[in-house]
Structure 1
């Protein structure tokens, strides 16, 4: 019997049916979406091979939600274009961390923002101004994430030595040390960001 903190195992069969081993019932993608909203941890495994296919199933859930005629698209076309452009790019390795940290910061503040919105709607315009504080915190965290992302771009861009024109001066041996320092700075920024996110949750 799995431990209490172990993720619920969802089995996906060849006929695309999903089986919740925790409740011994068949479930749908909509059910899995509700489990995510309830913060219920689960993994999806291929029933035949046992491979972890959680990523592809979660991606499928997003696809279904984005194409629900009764719903509202959450991913702007401009964002989707930018995201697609990063696939195969040397910056692809940085994007997941950037997106994850941004969403973590937003999630830390969503409950506080929700409370502010509940108080504000139907009341005076002065109460609406109370929403500005949590919104500014999210905007500030997003700005810092973007700065970190831009620093990472500047750090990795010089790696494309093949693009240098013929006769270009050889790079100083100190450049490698400089890039190493940049990488160290980036790691420190990520660690500082994580501490900031944690402190936001404790406040």
Structure 2
């Protein structure tokens, strides 16, 4: 049997039965208050209807969710002072204005929270980029260091001067030519490393 789903922005209908069980008509499954709390966090709108009287009891169910969250322990969301002040407004002449004020205040707070998260995410992204650049520079430096460590020119030239002191001019010229060829290869390799380093930094 196909499951019923809400269309467009129509809120999901949750039916509450006499045994206090909650039934999600969109998924054709029973749910708990924790499930409804998750739906709220995911911005999924719903209405709770009393299965027997068809009365809209969304407000009382949401209040029950808040009560359950506060009863879980840890850091409570509603300070005692705030709750006392809220209770005082019941029956007060300003009671009608309180819901709109609280709703607007929470909406503004949520917008500021999103902006803050965006700034934090941007800052973390920049830090990761800097860390990546540092890693690339470190890798290039390590490669360059390894190439220099494997560069035998200095020691070869020193040994050539000592060992070939008595050698003929022809042998010396041939060795010098080989050394110059190897040096040119190393210069070309260094240019490639420099080019690689420049591309990584970009």
Structure-2-length-normalised TM-score: 0.56
Aligned to 1:18: 22
**2:7 matches 1:3:** yes
Match of 2:85 among 82, 86, 92: 82
- Cα distance in structure 2, aligned partners of 1:53 and 1:64: 17
Taking structure 1 as reference, are residues 108 and 22 closer, same or farther at Cα in structure 2, changes over 3 Å only? Answer: same
Aligned to 1:43: 47
Deviations, residues 91-122 of structure 1 (Å, cap 9, x unaligned)? 1111111101101111222211123345668x
Structure with max Cα Rg: 2
Alignment length (residue pairs): 122
- Residue 72 of structure 1 deviates from its aligned partner by 1.9
Match of 1:97 among 93, 97, 100: 100
Greater relative contact order: 1 or 2 (C-alpha under 8 angstroms, separation 6 or more)?
1
- Cα distance in structure 1, aligned partners of 2:97 and 2:120: 33
- Cα distance in structure 2, aligned partners of 1:119 and 1:22: 38
Unaligned runs of 5+ in 2: 128-202
Unaligned runs of 5+ in 1: 125-203
Taking structure 1 as reference, are residues 117 and 75 closer, same or farther at Cα in structure 2, changes over 3 Å only? Answer: farther
Aligned to 2:71: 67
Deviations, residues 59-105 of structure 1 (Å, cap 9, x unaligned)? 00000001102x42011111001000111111111111110110111
- The SS at the match of 1:94 is helix
Structure-1-length-normalised TM-score: 0.56
Matches within 5 A, 1:106-121: 106-118=109-121
- Cα distance in structure 2, aligned partners of 1:80 and 1:118: 34
Provide the alpha-carbon RMSD of the alignment.
2.0
